[in-house]
């Protein structure tokens, strides 16, 4: 898998209060890189991606969040050869997130076309692999 991973792509943070999240990160010096309205489970949600000193932070609305330390939802790596990497993950016996159990997924959260899949780590952590097309 190592030959496919290029760099850290983003960290994903669910939020119940996007306005407070925007204030917090912009007060810390982040700039809004991209934002849009999307849908999750049939509900409208706001998605904001920050450029935080060269690292991307993806914030997205959810009704329920952990709301405690450890609340970061996932870490994502930018990769090449997403389909081959997906095949290796399946053949390697990695636990795939339910949404990715059958195929690599497209995203609607980012301004460019990204396809992704997530594996679940031994502590329940989510590791996303994002292939920019």
- Look at residue 123 in the predicted model and tell me its pLDDT: 67
Contact call for residues 13 and 58 (beta carbons, < 8 A): yes
98-102: long-range pairs with CB below 8 Å, 24+? none
Question: In sequence order, what DSSP letters do the residues of 25-72 get, joined into one string?
Answer: HHHTT-EEEEEEEEEETTEEEEEEEEEETTEEEEEEE-S----STT--
Instruction: Give the span between the Cα atoms of 77 and 81, in whole angstroms.
Output: 13
How confident is the model over 77-90, as pLDDT tens digits?
999 999 999 999 99
- Tell whether pTM > 0.85: no
How confident is the model over 39-69, as pLDDT tens digits?
998 999 999 999 988 999 999 999 888 877 7
């Amino acid at each position: 898998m190592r030959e496919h991973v290029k760099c850290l792509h983003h960290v994903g943070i669910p939020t119940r209060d996007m306005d407070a999240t925007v204030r917090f990160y912009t007060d810390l010096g982040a700039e809004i890189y991209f934002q849009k309205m999307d849908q999750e489970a049939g509900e409208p949600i706001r998605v904001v991606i920050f450029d935080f000193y060269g690292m991307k932070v993806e914030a997205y609305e959810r009704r329920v969040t952990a709301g405690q330390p450890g609340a970061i939802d996932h870490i994502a790596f930018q990769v090449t050869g997403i389909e081959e990497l997906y095949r290796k993950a399946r053949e390697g016996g990695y636990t795939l997130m339910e949404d990715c159990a059958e195929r690599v997924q497209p995203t609607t959260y980012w301004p460019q076309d990204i396809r992704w899949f997530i594996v679940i780590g031994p502590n329940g952590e989510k590791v996303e692999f994002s292939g920019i097309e």
